[in-house]
Chains A and B, each alone.
Chain A
Amino acid sequence: MRSPLLIATLLVLALCAGARYAAAQPPRPGDPSAPTQPRSAGQEGFVPADQLPKPQDTMPAAPLVAIAYAFVWLMLFGYVVSIWRRLGTVERELQAVSRRLEAGGRTP
């Protein structure tokens, strides 16, 4: 569990750092990844309704939903497989140690 947990920790921290950096960047004109709704909090000026990005110019939702769902699947599947493998390793080790004990203790 050590390495996956460490990787996951670094991943989330990198995501937060990236988000912090991205939030500090001024928006580019004509950015296709503009949000669906204008942000009310922290917005510096009035945006007329006719200047809002058209639906076809905004970031598509389907890939984000698909990425999120695939991520959930991968995480859960990976975790179940990791438990399964760790259990298998411990069971094998248990059998080996039991055999050694039955054979009379210490092996060279």
Chain B
Amino acid sequence: MFAYAPFMIVRAPYETTMGPISRIFYFHAPSGMTMFLSAFVCGIASAIYLFSRRDGADRVAVAAAELTAILGIIVLVTGPLWARKAWGVWWEWEPRLTSSLVLWLIFVAYLLLRRYGGPGSDRLAAGVAVFGMVNVPFVYWSVNLWRTMHPKTTVVPTLPPGMRGPFWYSFVAFTLLYIITLHLRTRLEKRRAELEVLYLALEE
């Protein structure tokens, strides 16, 4: 799907005011939507871990946090490439861009906590993830709540038919890849936990 996406995007129409640069939209917006989805998966899994102490939920949370950070990098790099041409600047400290950066930093903080936080950091990190998830609606509606240069949330529902196909195609491609990588990354965490158990057995 990712191999075919460029051909669809090249043939797809572009927004008339911004010109061909607006084609970045076809993978900038889907990666942003998948990032929001991933932040929700991480937040919900972390909340389950906080209340029920299920190890499986913690493993899903770690995997989703890493994917949120990866997708966040994609959003934060493709956005400025679009902005440089459309707005004349690489970055603007306006609500959507700033809140997206803060959201990404929250999930980077989660990963750093898990890596260097020591014993008990899993619960602290889970709290951070819930906080990150709560932040998502603010990022999403920031374009409607405050004056901003970023396109509003009404853009996607009102896309003309020619743009709708490539956009949803890209979104499905990102979502499928997200599900596959989340599954693989969760499996990695599970195997690591099994390895720890084996090492403990070996020590005894």
Contact = CB atoms under 8 A, between A and B. Distances in A.
Contact of B20 (A2, A62, A97): A62
A37 interface: yes
A47 interface: no
B24 interface: yes
A58 to B, nearest CB: 8
A2 B116 CA distance: 10
A49 to B, nearest CB: 15
Contact of A1 (B78, B87, B91, B111): B111
B78 A36 contact: no
Consensus secondary structure, chain A interface: helix
Given A8-B73, A22-B89, A62-B20, A15 B188 contact: no
A22 B85 contact: no
Interface in B161-204: 177, 181, 184-185, 187-188, 191-192, 194-195, 198-199, 201-202
Interface string B23-35: 1100110010000
Nearest to B28: A68
A76 B2 contact: yes
Contact of B184 (A20, A73, A83, A105): A83
Q: Which range contains the number of B residues in contact with the other chain?
A: 35 or more
Contacts of A39: 87-89
Given A19-B90, A35-B86, A59-B84, A68 B27 contact: yes
B192 A90 contact: yes
Nearest to A107: B202
Q: Which range contains the number of A residues in contact with the other chain?
A: 35 or more
Interface of B: 2, 6, 9, 17-21, 23-24, 27-28, 31, 66, 69-70, 73-74, 76-78, 80-82, 84-92, 101, 104, 108, 111, 115, 149, 177, 181, 184-185, 187-188, 191-192, 194-195, 198-199, 201-202
Interface of A: 1-2, 5, 8-9, 11-12, 15-16, 18-20, 22-23, 33-37, 39, 41, 58-59, 61-62, 64-65, 67-69, 71-73, 75-76, 79-80, 83-84, 86-87, 90-91, 93-94, 97-98, 100-101, 105-106
